[in-house]
Amino acid sequence: MTETLSWLDQVRWNSDGLVPAIAQDAKTGRILMMAWMNREALETTAKLKQAVYFSRSRNKLWHKGETSHHVQNVQEIRLDCDEDVIVLMVEQIGGIACHTGRESCFYRVFNDGEWQVVEPVLKDPSEIY
């Protein structure tokens, strides 16, 4: 690439070359998930206007929804004051961000000394993947 990518240089990637990326539903405001991005993931996300993360377990780019078809259309990309965290405002296709078949990955609430599941499975994960 010959163009100057100063906006990517401005991000403070950690020692593994990653930053956390938080996906928030643009309509409801729900925080759907947090995953990680490397430089290529962020650049691709901006280009496609769909969320592309970096899978640390599979050690490669992860186009969210590539198998489930629950892609995230990205309406806005934000950067924080320390330049080391990203927020994506997204339209969550299918209404399900979590691999458990729930809307959001944050379906457990701390209560009475334990993590309690407070949200339903909307679709059997075996039907998603």
Residue 105 interacting with a copy of itself (CB under 8 A): yes
| Binder of a copy of itself out of 39, 61, 77, 121 (CB under 8 A) | 77
| Binder of a copy of itself out of 2, 69, 82, 127 (CB under 8 A) | 82
* CB count in 10 Å sphere of residue 51: 27
| Binder of a copy of itself out of 13, 22, 95, 122 (CB under 8 A) | 22
Q: Which of residues 51-70 bind a copy of itself (CB under 8 A)?
A: none
Q: Which residue has the tokens 């949200």?
A: 119
* φ, ψ (nearest 5 deg) of residue 79: -125, 145
* CB count in 10 Å sphere of residue 98: 19
Single-letter residue type at 37: M
Residue 27 interacting with a copy of itself (CB under 8 A): no
For 89, residues 6+ apart whose C-beta sits below 8 A from its C-beta are 24, 26, 74, 75, 76, 77, 78
Residue 98 interacting with a copy of itself (CB under 8 A): yes
Contact residues for a copy of itself, defined by CB under 8 A: 6-7, 10, 20, 22, 24, 28-31, 33-34, 46, 76-82, 85, 87, 98-100, 102, 105-110, 113-115
